[in-house]
Amino acid sequence: MISKIGIIGAGTMGCGIAQIASQNGHEVVVVDKETLQLEKAKAGLDKILSRLCEKERITSEDKIAILNRIRFTSELKQLSDSDLVIEAIVENIGIKHEVFKAVESLVSESCILASNTSSLSIASIGSALNKANRCIGIHFFNPAPLMPLVEIIPAVQTDEETLNSAVELIKNWKKTVVTCKDTPGFIVNRVARPFYGEALRIYEEGIADFATIDWALTELGGFKMGPFTLMDYIGNDVNYAVTESVFKAFYYDSRFKPSFTQKRYAEAGFLGRKSGRGYYNYKEPKSNKEANKDRVLGNYILDRVRCMLINEAIDAVFMNVGSPVDIDLAMTKGVNYPKGLLTWVDELGHKEILDQLQHLFDYYGEDRYRPNPLLRRMVANKTKFFPH
């Protein structure tokens, strides 16, 4: 039974996971080598819980109990009696190896060692351990207390007991759990790449500007945010780094090719909201262009981005990254898509999506537009992902 939880990293993600664990009655230890970061984390958590009190989501007694169950420390040895340790630090495999080796020397043999990584190989992280069968990926989305999805990623070394314990715990925390293969980007960060990549390509070809592309995908497609608004929210430097990481991890498959536009914007310091300027100017919003609300153009943009997203979701099924149910859950609960991409292709018609992709493939002659073999097979056999 998992009772005591250790968190390594007192950043936004580490603190969010600590809050969830404590709210679910666990004793929690948060470790960070930077004492200033620990103080910042404590103050931040107090503020968040005070806001929840104001909104009457929790009582003042609840707040005191939640805070009392969390200890903040700079000493790694304080994790020694943990049943589960979740690492939420910088995305650097060398640093993660050092931390996991150090933690393994402190904890019991039954302690599960998990990483919250969004892009690194769980098998590689586990390779630093003497007992790699206890290593697993538990990937929360930011902000962790609010986002319902958690991706759980067993490595090739992970045993069944570790996987089952992790799934049971996160489900008990009332999160939506999807299990996925240890591949670059897991489900969400893999399947979502065309949302940014194809939008950037459409802009680079001069077909439409940022505002028009965002309008097409929100107004006509039902997405909560357009790709350029979302990249500005995430940060162009962060989004570009993930794209580059996934591209390299997939042996430079053209489906994941980064954009020079995004690279140049990141290099220029146009990082988005946090810098005051990205694809949009947040310091002088009146200088931003108005969208061209031509519905023919808008539907072309929507069809092109959507068919690329659907093709990537189908590829994730084809390559056994996750089940159709888990892939649709991941995209609706992890990135708030208006509907699951596999449900969407069932509704639109597999032949319709195949025709759109085949047209792009024939026109451009680029491998990025190749229709997935599973899509071709489903069209030939007239099958659906969710026939009922």
Q: Would you state the pLDDT for residue 135?
A: 98
Q: Would you state the pLDDT for residue 14?
A: 96
Does residue 39 have a pLDDT over 90?
A: yes
3-state class of 282 per DSSP?
A: coil
130 is catalytic: no
Q: Would you state the pLDDT for residue 61?
A: 95
Q: Topology of 187-388 in CATH?
A: N-(1-d-carboxylethyl)-l-norvaline Dehydrogenase; domain 2 (1.10.1040)
Show Cβ contacts of residue 272 under 8 Å, excluding neighbours closer than 6 positions: 231, 232, 233, 234, 235, 236, 278, 279
* Structure tokens that stand for 108 in this block: 């019991």
Beta pairing, strands 135-140 & 112-115: parallel
Q: Would you state the pLDDT for residue 388?
A: 79
Q: 99-103, 116-120, 187-191, 324-328: which range is least confident on average?
A: 116-120
Q: Are 357 and 311 in contact (CB under 8 A)?
A: yes
Q: Would you state the pLDDT for residue 1?
A: 85
Does residue 245 have a pLDDT over 90?
A: no
Query: What's the CATH superfamily of 4-179?
Result: NAD(P)-binding Rossmann-like Domain (3.40.50.720)
List the alpha helices (DSSP H) in 216-338.
227-234, 236-249, 260-267, 295-318, 324-334
Mean pLDDT of the chain: 96
Q: Would you state the pLDDT for residue 242?
A: 87
Q: Where are the domains of the chain?
A: 4-179, 187-388
Q: Which of 87, 104, 151, 312 is catalytic?
A: 151
pTM given for the model: 0.93
- What is the average per-residue pLDDT within 49-76? 95
Q: Which of 26, 87, 139, 198 is catalytic?
A: 139
Instruction: Return the sign of the alpha-carbon dihedral for residues 267, 270, 273, 275.
Output: positive
151 is catalytic: yes
Q: Are 169 and 2 in contact (CB under 8 A)?
A: yes
172 is catalytic: no
Closest CA to 46 of 29, 28, 30, 60: 60
189 is catalytic: yes
Q: Which of 189, 239, 311, 372 is catalytic?
A: 189
